[in-house]
Amino acid sequence: DVKVTQSSRYLVKRTGEKVFLECVQDMDHENMFWYRQDPGLGLRLIYFSYDVKMKEKGDIPEGYSVSREKKERFSLILESASTNQTSMYLCASINRGRGTEAFFGQGTRLTVV
Amino acid sequence: GDSVTQMEGPVTLSEEAFLTINCTYTATGYPSLFWYVQYPGEGLQLLLKATKADDKGSNKGFEATYRKETTSFHLEKGSVQVSDSAVYFCVITQGGSEKLVFGKGTKLTVNP
């Protein structure tokens, strides 16, 4: 059974903390993505990676960075958490090719206080 | 840039009613089109897809047809069930890549 696993379902962090969100996939996919989901805004792309050590900014990269040292793992880093980063974070992986299916993790609900 | 516009919700229907959720898109190139669904408390999962003009995607009684001339991919189901209550996202691929562009989602509630 294919799987994308996010390290935490719920996180509460303080303003200014450095926060790490981890995502692991077991499908050998090249592409991995981080989105945030907010009510009324849908899913917005933060960063994506199309290969190990390769990354590109998405639509809302400010305040975030990413790391992909191994093919199966894609980490999202909040350098200094702020309250406006309170959100649901979703990781996805997709194989290369037209029309291929994206697989999503269960999401991490992050609250910054 | 590429974008997706889908009808705003929430949508509330009675069981066995007909469902349409409209979706139109703006894209450079020739995108693939998808509907993803998010059931309460669960992650997103693929509902159906279409990769070329006039293709019809179908799954679980849902259908959508890739209309290139109207840049649309409307989701339909003839008879909804309570178990169809979820948030539905219309999604396209961007610029020949695997990057996905999402609509804002439509929350569907089906009452018995």
pLDDT tens-digit readout, A35-63: 999 988 889 999 999 999 899 999 999 99
Say whether B99 sits in a helix, a strand or coil.
coil
pLDDT tens digits, one per residue of A65-101: 999 999 999 999 999 999 999 999 999 999 888 788 8
Contacts of B105 in chain A (CB under 8 A): 42-43
pLDDT at residue A2 is higher than 70: no
Q: How far is A81 from chain B (nearest CA, A)?
A: 24
| A47 in contact with B, Cβ within 8 Å | no
Give me the residues paired with residue B38 across strands.
B44, B87
Average pLDDT over every residue of A2-15: 92
Nearest residue in A to B46, CA atom: A101
pLDDT at residue number B8: 84
Summarize the confidence of residues B53-57 as an average pLDDT.
96
| Average pLDDT of span B81-86 | 97
Beta strand residue intervals within chain B, DSSP E: 3-6, 11-14, 19-21, 23-26, 33-38, 44-50, 56-59, 62-65, 75-77, 86-93, 100-102, 106-111
Q: What is the mean pLDDT of residues B33-47?
A: 93
Q: Which two tokens stand for residue B53?
A: 């003009």
Range with the poorest average pLDDT among A1-5, A74-78, B1-5, B34-38 = A1-5
Residue B47's contacts (CB-CB under 8 Å, 6 or more residues apart) are B34, B35, B36, B37, B59, B60, B62, B75, B88
Contact A79, A13 (CB under 8 A): no
What is the spatial distance between Cα A74 and Cα A26, in angstroms, rounded to a whole number? 12
Q: Which pLDDT score, from 0 to 100, does residue A89 have?
A: 97
Long-range contacts of B58-64 (CB under 8 A, 24+ apart): B62/B35, B64/B23, B64/B33, B64/B35
